[in-house]
Chains A and B, each alone.
Chain A
């Protein structure tokens, strides 16, 4: 027993102390990342981590940041809050990182924020946690300005989806949604505006993820002749729900959420059943950044990771924004990085797109003291005082198995709808 304790202590010391070997000629600034690489949210975290690597490749190829190259110390949260805070605490206390990208699910992001980053004064950027609790933490002053997220609030997307559905002639919907904070909140916001704008919701059926069959849920939802099914889900579960819906003779018209504009979803459900499927995503009509990301991601990460996976694009933007903020701050310190994050999204700044040429241009502008505006894969966004982003939505439709962007809804339009009903 004594021997094992000694061995364990040695192991801890060896492992905690071991960093990546320092580059000979240059220095390296290492920031942290806590991602769900395994566990229920594993595939989202894996896709997001590949995006971080892709962004780092571009950043490091284009220049130096506060005098050094950038690197990430990537940790696995195992989709478990306790493991996540332990890993985040290691990064902050032992590796001394000034910034952490992470938390896919809220049960990981919120504990990291409340027990590690906010009290230690470390920047945290989540690419995927959409829980309204995080906004509340910002409003209450408990995130103390250290938290940012590159995912649009569900509240805004719910409004956009409600408006888009009604404009497309959908008046009566049945809803099937994933029973987690994302699904519940999205449906709540959607329902409020959809009914207020004159729509009718026939049934709302929550489902548990990763079940073998969704026949009971679909049977419950498919009553009373809805115009369409509003499916708030992810590819995977969503595929099997849509298939079951079609098999049970449900109307072949779908309203889908961000993340369901996915090639594997369309292929596995069958494009012939999805010709009246529409949906919303955060972001704009394709831009130089989104085209670049779509091209580069698969070539870089390989076919097993999916560029359309939820969180992939946002983790890429989170890393780009962090990198540019480090350059803008001129030093690798938490407070300076936090203050610079909003400055690299300056609405008055010159527009910068993803890719090495864009980063070089941004670095030149920053060096010259000129404002820059990074317009990433998710479009032109701004952080508000709670660290939430506001940005436009893209309206899309599936036609002959392809996703076609049919229009855009600006933040002003969404706010206008919200304001009308208050």
Chain B
């Protein structure tokens, strides 16, 4: 029983950490730069399809299946999503907040519809199957393989996490926060706000593309239904619950919210009489919503709020005068 649970948890963590990568990408955009991107599923899809086309076996009726190594597929997925985001961002990033949200949402839906209709490229409604997994031949049992893939996933999350931490703790991170808090003030200091927002948007979306490539490789099959707007909302719930503006919060939020999704159905089932189970499934969505709302009532800034952003030169004096965790930092994204 304990071993069975462990096998399942390995599988669970692979999917949860896939969401964590998505969540880290969104955190760079929203948590640090204040870009209201509601098109997560779109960039996730671009990464997944690019990787699937690059690494998959040849398909007679469509472009590609180039049979390239998985690593190239992942890099390609990352790059494709980043380039797509540069284009999208160039056209839309002058928009503010809710307008940007509507636009990015529309773009994600458009990407999904392109995937559904352009059969020569994406396989259309049939999707792409037989996407190979790296080193699959080396392992005899699926459990061993999942364990290996979890290791790979952990390394990936660690790499993305470490890279982002380096970036956001450096001067660039402070610049992004400054833009988030007050664009006019940042611009008046001579910063090129538009370019910086564009870079943050493209980098965040590239990370989402990487998550997509990782997802396609693990699942072995992708179809347009894998990239519906619900994915975007799941990732947003994860980031808000974990604490936007905090990379550790993004990872924690992804694991906890995916865990909530995973156990909500069984919990609702355990509480309902047998003849109401079919109808009662909708209650799990209610349960998820209630838990999320409850957590946010108790911890309005997520489980881990944003850390105070203070230049290392002044940090010594600042920590001496105030306790960092008790006072609200100079405004998370929700403070605006």
Question: Do A and B share a complex?
Answer: yes
Residues in chain A within 8 A of chain B (CB atoms): 1, 4-5, 8, 11-13, 15-18, 37-40, 42, 46, 49-50, 53, 74-76, 78-83, 85-87, 89-90, 93-94, 96, 105-107, 110-111, 114-115, 119-120, 131-133, 136-137, 140, 142, 179-181, 183-185, 206, 208, 304
Contact indicator B127/A133 (Cβ below 8 Å): yes
* CB within 8 Å for A90 and B125 given contacts A38-B281, A38-B282, A107-B223: no
- If A8-B256, A93-B8 are given as contacts, then 14 extra A-B residue pairs at C-beta distance below 8 Å, sorted by A number, are A1-B304, A15-B270, A37-B282, A38-B284, A40-B228, A81-B223, A81-B225, A86-B11, A87-B265, A89-B8, A94-B8, A114-B219, A132-B126, A184-B124
What is the CB-to-nearest-CB distance from A56 to chain B, in angstroms, rounded to a whole number? 10
Which residues of chain B come closer than 8 Å to A185, judged between CB atoms?
125-126
Contact indicator B304/A140 (Cβ below 8 Å): no
Complex formed: what's the CA distance from A16 to B259 in Å?
A: 12
Complex formed: what's the CA distance from A89 to B285 in Å?
A: 20
Interface size on B, residues (CB 8 A): 51
Contact indicator B125/A179 (Cβ below 8 Å): yes
Complex formed: what's the CA distance from A115 to B218 in Å?
A: 8
Which residues of chain A come closer than 8 Å to B127, judged between CB atoms?
106-107, 110, 133, 181
B230 at the A interface (CB under 8 A):
yes
Contact indicator A1/B126 (Cβ below 8 Å): no
What is the CB-to-nearest-CB distance from B114 to chain A, in angstroms, rounded to a whole number? 12
Between A and B, 30 residue pairs with Cβ closer than 8 Å are A1-B252, A4-B256, A11-B263, A18-B270, A37-B282, A38-B282, A38-B284, A40-B228, A42-B282, A46-B278, A46-B281, A49-B277, A74-B277, A75-B265, A78-B230, A80-B230, A81-B226, A82-B15, A86-B12, A86-B15, A86-B261, A93-B8, A105-B225, A107-B127, A110-B127, A110-B221, A111-B220, A131-B126, A133-B221, A184-B125
Contact indicator B278/A37 (Cβ below 8 Å): yes
B72 at the A interface (CB under 8 A):
no
Which residues of chain B come closer than 8 Å to A86, judged between CB atoms?
11-12, 15, 261-262
Which of B290-323 touch A at CB < 8 Å? 295, 303-304
Contact indicator B126/A137 (Cβ below 8 Å): no
B182 at the A interface (CB under 8 A):
no
Which residues of chain B come closer than 8 Å to A75, judged between CB atoms?
265-266
B101 at the A interface (CB under 8 A):
no
Which residues of chain A come closer than 8 Å to B137, judged between CB atoms?
none
Which of B149-190 touch A at CB < 8 Å? none
B196 at the A interface (CB under 8 A):
no
Which residues of chain A come closer than 8 Å to B124, judged between CB atoms?
184
Complex formed: what's the CA distance from A53 to B274 in Å?
A: 10
Number of A-B contacts (CB under 8 A): 148
Q: Closest chain A residue to B218 by CB distance?
A: A115
Which residues of chain A come closer than 8 Å to B252, judged between CB atoms?
1
Complex formed: what's the CA distance from A13 to B130 in Å?
A: 34
The listed residue with most A CB atoms (<10 A of its CB), out of B124, B126, B228, B267, is: B126
Complex formed: what's the CA distance from A111 to B128 in Å?
A: 11
Contact indicator A76/B226 (Cβ below 8 Å): no
Contact indicator B116/A114 (Cβ below 8 Å): no
Which residues of chain B come closer than 8 Å to A304, judged between CB atoms?
279
Contact indicator B219/A81 (Cβ below 8 Å): yes
Q: Closest chain A residue to B131 by CB distance?
A: A114
Complex formed: what's the CA distance from A18 to B5 in Å?
A: 13
Which residues of chain B come closer than 8 Å to A208, judged between CB atoms?
113
Which of B227-241 touch A at CB < 8 Å? 228, 230
Contact indicator A106/B7 (Cβ below 8 Å): no
Contact indicator B221/A76 (Cβ below 8 Å): no
Complex formed: what's the CA distance from A16 to B267 in Å?
A: 9
B117 at the A interface (CB under 8 A):
yes
Complex formed: what's the CA distance from A48 to B34 in Å?
A: 45
Complex formed: what's the CA distance from A142 to B220 in Å?
A: 11
Contact indicator B219/A85 (Cβ below 8 Å): yes
Which residues of chain B come closer than 8 Å to A8, judged between CB atoms?
256, 259
Complex formed: what's the CA distance from A342 to B4 in Å?
A: 30
Which of B199-230 touch A at CB < 8 Å? 218-221, 223-226, 228, 230
* CB within 8 Å for A76 and B142 given contacts A81-B219, A181-B223: no
Complex formed: what's the CA distance from A83 to B234 in Å?
A: 11
Which residues of chain B come closer than 8 Å to A137, judged between CB atoms?
129
Q: Closest chain B residue to A121 by CB distance?
A: B142
What is the CB-to-nearest-CB distance from A155 to chain B, in angstroms, rounded to a whole number? 13
Complex formed: what's the CA distance from A173 to B266 in Å?
A: 48
8 Å CB contact of A15 from B266, B282, B285:
B266
Which residues of chain A come closer than 8 Å to B125, judged between CB atoms?
179-181, 183-185
Contact indicator A94/B4 (Cβ below 8 Å): yes
Complex formed: what's the CA distance from A199 to B15 in Å?
A: 49
8 Å CB contact of A181 from B126, B259, B265, B277:
B126
Which residues of chain A come closer than 8 Å to B130, judged between CB atoms?
140, 142
What is the CB-to-nearest-CB distance from B144 to chain A, in angstroms, rounded to a whole number? 11
Contact indicator A93/B129 (Cβ below 8 Å): no
Which residues of chain B come closer than 8 Å to A17, judged between CB atoms?
1
The listed residue with most A CB atoms (<10 A of its CB), out of B256, B262, B267, is: B262
What is the CB-to-nearest-CB distance from A121 to chain B, in angstroms, rounded to a whole number? 9
Complex formed: what's the CA distance from A179 to B118 in Å?
A: 12
Q: Closest chain B residue to A39 by CB distance?
A: B230
Which residues of chain A come closer than 8 Å to B284, judged between CB atoms?
38, 76
What is the CB-to-nearest-CB distance from B23 to chain A, in angstroms, rounded to a whole number? 14
* CB within 8 Å for A94 and B218 given contacts A38-B281, A185-B126: no
Which residues of chain A come closer than 8 Å to B221, judged between CB atoms?
81, 110-111, 114, 133
Complex formed: what's the CA distance from A90 to B129 in Å?
A: 23
What is the CB-to-nearest-CB distance from B297 to chain A, in angstroms, rounded to a whole number? 14
Which residues of chain A come closer than 8 Å to B8, judged between CB atoms?
16, 89-90, 93-94
Complex formed: what's the CA distance from A42 to B284 in Å?
A: 13
Q: Closest chain A residue to B220 by CB distance?
A: A114
Which residues of chain A come closer than 8 Å to B142, judged between CB atoms?
119-120
What is the CB-to-nearest-CB distance from B11 to chain A, in angstroms, rounded to a whole number? 5
Contact indicator A111/B219 (Cβ below 8 Å): yes
Q: Closest chain A residue to B265 by CB distance?
A: A76
Complex formed: what's the CA distance from A120 to B143 in Å?
A: 9
Complex formed: what's the CA distance from A280 to B149 in Å?
A: 46
Q: Closest chain B residue to A11 by CB distance?
A: B263
The listed residue with most A CB atoms (<10 A of its CB), out of B5, B252, B278, B303, is: B278
Contact indicator B223/A110 (Cβ below 8 Å): yes
Contact indicator A115/B220 (Cβ below 8 Å): yes
**A-contact bits for B246-263, CB 8 A (1 contact / 0 none):** 000000100010010111
B191 at the A interface (CB under 8 A):
no
Complex formed: what's the CA distance from A304 to B282 in Å?
A: 15
Q: Closest chain B residue to A90 by CB distance?
A: B8
What is the CB-to-nearest-CB distance from A153 to chain B, in angstroms, rounded to a whole number? 14
Complex formed: what's the CA distance from A119 to B267 in Å?
A: 27
Contact indicator A16/B226 (Cβ below 8 Å): no
Which residues of chain A come closer than 8 Å to B220, judged between CB atoms?
111, 114-115
* CB within 8 Å for A96 and B4 given contacts A86-B11, A142-B130: yes
